[in-house]
Amino acid sequence: MMDLSEAHLEAFLEMMSAERGAAVNTLQSYERDLKDALSFLRARGTRLGEATPDDLRHYLAGLAKQGFKSSSQARRLSSLRQFYKFLYAEGLRSDDPTGILDAPKKARALPKTLSVDDVTRLIGQAEAEAAAGGEDALAKLRMHALIELLYATGMRVSELVSLPASVLSQNGRFLVIRGKGAKERLVPLSQAAMRAMRSYGDALRQRQSKEESPWLFPSYGKSGHLPRQVFARDLKSLAARAGIRVAAISPHVLRHAFASHLLANGADLRAVQELLGHSDISTTQIYTHVLEERLHELVQNHHPLAKQAKKQD
């Protein structure tokens, strides 16, 4: 015999189909989610239609313990919200127990990064093409300078493409970068970045007309400097020639690589925060999670006991 909760569930699904025109897949998804909650609550001695906010909190907590992602938990909660709104609208409940429940917090996505070997190959490709010269020699020197500067400093791509031409006259090993909120920060330059920038600067001066551009990477576009979209496109092209998966590369990924590689080699988190120009250290801490994930994968893939466990599974 169908209990009251099942009858309410059937009525809800009929309403979603008849009045809202929900697709078959959507109805099946609602049915799966709500039947799962029904089974959980029944085991607690509670009916789905009579559940309290605490009952539903226990249900969601149980999903988290089972390893359900926050997105899956949020979908289950969404199904419950729709169900209890229906019960309230039909006068079958005087309240909505999901009204005071918070949606599960989504886990922050870990930033993509590149291995040291991939970065070395990318820079090596840019350096070799710049040294070869030939057609579009200035563009090749520019790309080499862009790559070296980006990996050496971890600049945002918007900061990189809008560097002033005046940096060419600096003899020191530091750059002053104007970042978000017009805040300035000091970043060190590697010897390789300095050489690439000088080579590019020399070629640029020979090419320029009497009226020099105020930008290090000038362009004929509206902004007057190289658009970041053009750099991103050219970077993917360079990655393809270097044998690196194109989908894995972007200017921002090189910024991530800069931070991850520094931390992996023992750099202080506060120092990396300053170099990246993060106002909040919690933004920088995401890179420590990248390292934790890498270490976990390393153990799982290479430790003898982990390998043995996989074989037994």
The phi, psi pair for 164, rounded to 5°, reads -75, 150
Active-site residue, selected from the candidate residues 156, 183, 228, 296: 156
Q: What is the per-residue pLDDT across 43-68, written as a single tens digit (0 to 9) for each?
A: 999 999 899 999 999 999 999 888 88
Active-site residue, selected from the candidate residues 8, 142, 255, 256: 255
Rounded CA gap, 106 and 103, in Å? 9
In the structure, what pLDDT confidence band is assigned to residue 221 with cuts at 50, 70 and 90? Answer: confident
Q: Check residue 172 and report its DSSP letter.
A: S
Q: What is the pLDDT of residue 307?
A: 47
Does the structure show a pLDDT above 80 at 272? yes
Q: Which of 66, 55, 135 is nearest to 98 (CA)?
A: 55
Rounded CA gap, 295 and 282, in Å? 20
Rounded CA gap, 26 and 14, in Å? 12
The residue among 12 and 279 whose pLDDT is bigger is 12
CB 158 within 8 A of CB 215: no
What angle, rounded to 10 degrees, do the helices at 116-132 and 191-207 form? 30
Q: Is 156 a catalytic site residue?
A: yes
Q: What is the pLDDT of residue 7?
A: 87
Mean pLDDT over all residues of the chain? 85
Q: What is the pLDDT of residue 300?
A: 57
Mean pLDDT of 201-217: 84
Q: 4-89 and 119-301 share one CATH topology?
A: no
- Count Cα neighbours of 8 within 13 Å in the Cβ-side half-sphere: 24
Q: Which residues of 85-123 are buried (b: 16+ CB within 10 A; e: fewer)?
A: ebbeeeeebeebbbeeeeebeeeeeebebbeeebbebbb
Question: Residues of the chain with pLDDT > 90: what percent?
Answer: 49
Query: What is residue 191's three-state secondary structure?
Result: helix
Active-site residue, selected from the candidate residues 180, 241, 270, 307: 180
Does the structure show a pLDDT above 90 at 192? yes
Rounded CA gap, 48 and 13, in Å? 14
Active-site residue, selected from the candidate residues 57, 58, 236, 252: 252
Q: What is the pLDDT of residue 133?
A: 87
Does the structure show a pLDDT above 90 at 19? no
Q: What is the per-residue pLDDT across 82-122, written as a single tens digit (0 to 9) for each?
A: 999 999 999 999 999 998 888 776 655 555 678 899 999 99
Q: Is 21 left (phi over 0), alpha (psi -120 to 50) or beta?
A: left
Query: Distance between terminal CA atoms of the chain?
Result: 41
> 119-301: which CATH topology?
hpI Integrase; Chain A (1.10.443)
CB atoms within 10 A of CB 200: 25
Q: What is the per-residue pLDDT across 154-176, written as a single tens digit (0 to 9) for each?
A: 999 999 999 999 988 877 788 88
Q: What is the per-residue pLDDT across 273-293, written as a single tens digit (0 to 9) for each?
A: 888 887 777 666 666 655 555
Q: Is 47 a catalytic site residue?
A: no
Mean pLDDT of 72-86: 91
Q: What is the per-residue pLDDT across 123-144, written as a single tens digit (0 to 9) for each?
A: 999 999 999 988 899 999 999 9
Query: What is residue 84's three-state secondary structure?
Result: helix
> 4-89: which CATH topology?
DNA polymerase; domain 1 (1.10.150)
Mean pLDDT of 292-312: 51
54: buried, middle or exposed (CB in 10 Å: 19+, 13-18, 0-12)? Answer: exposed
Q: Is 245 a catalytic site residue?
A: no
Rounded CA gap, 286 and 207, in Å? 43
Residues paired with 177 in a beta bridge:
185
In the structure, what pLDDT confidence band is assigned to residue 298 with cuts at 50, 70 and 90? Answer: very low
Q: What is the pLDDT of residue 293?
A: 53
Q: Which of 182, 147, 187, 151 is nearest to 167 (CA)?
A: 187
The residue among 300 and 243 whose pLDDT is bigger is 243
Q: Where are the domains of the chain?
A: 4-89, 119-301
pTM of this structure: 0.59
Rounded to 10 degrees, the C-alpha dihedral 182/276/128/221 comes to: -30
Q: Check residue 220 and report its DSSP letter.
A: S
CB 157 within 8 A of CB 150: yes
The residue among 42 and 69 whose pLDDT is bigger is 42
What angle, rounded to 10 degrees, do the helices at 281-302 and 251-264 form? 70
Q: What is the pLDDT of residue 106?
A: 61
